[in-house]
Copies of this chain bind each other. A is one copy, B any other.
Amino acid sequence: MKTRLSLPALDPATVTSKTTSTYPREEWRDELGRRSKQALGDALGLQNFGVNLARLEPGAASALRHWHTRQDEFVYVLEGELTLVTEAGEQILLAGDCAGFPAGREDGHRLINRSDAPAVYLEVGDRLPGDRAHYPDVDLEARADRSPYRYFHTDGSAY
């Protein structure tokens, strides 16, 4: 695609969109639905944190509910309506709203698009080493320093 910008500037429309998941069970991958992500930070040459432009079609989810031991996460809604699910319940995020998940806070979270229109958001996560992701609803843990994650059962055995 032709672009009017050159690095260090970037038109996100020129960045490849990824729809795959690395979860080790098909039912978990299927549960994400029509989720796509463009790795803007990687395209810009950033290494200390990742920035994705993520899009959830109706019914899609950002992830299985999870929390990180060492890495912070941030999301900012650009378009549409997203339901944030945490231990405390559900909240609706609209365009212009944000959310943050500090490292080590044991509150599994995820976003689900329960609306009938696409939703678009930015997600940021740092890449501090030694990170683990815990998934309280399923038999899953991850060594989550950076992609691709390595997945384990909660008893420590590998998938």
Q: Measuring CB to CB, which residues of chain A are less than 8 angstroms from any residue of chain B?
A: 5-12, 40-41, 43-49, 51, 71-72, 74, 76, 78, 84, 86, 88, 91, 93, 96-103, 105, 107, 109, 122, 124, 126, 128
Contact = CB atoms under 8 A, between A and B. Distances in A.
Contacts of A45: 100, 102, 105
B8 A47 contact: no
A8 B91 CA distance: 10
A98 B49 contact: no
Contacts of A41: 72, 74, 100
A159 to B, nearest CB: 27
Would you list the 8 A-B pairs with minimal beta carbon distance, nearest first? A44-B100, A48-B126, A46-B72, A48-B72, A45-B102, A9-B99, A9-B91, A46-B100
A12 B41 CA distance: 23
A97 B128 CA distance: 27
A48 B11 CA distance: 26
A151 to B, nearest CB: 23
18 contacts: A5-B91, A5-B97, A6-B88, A8-B101, A8-B109, A9-B97, A9-B98, A10-B100, A11-B97, A43-B100, A44-B74, A44-B98, A45-B105, A47-B72, A48-B49, A48-B72, A49-B126, A126-B126
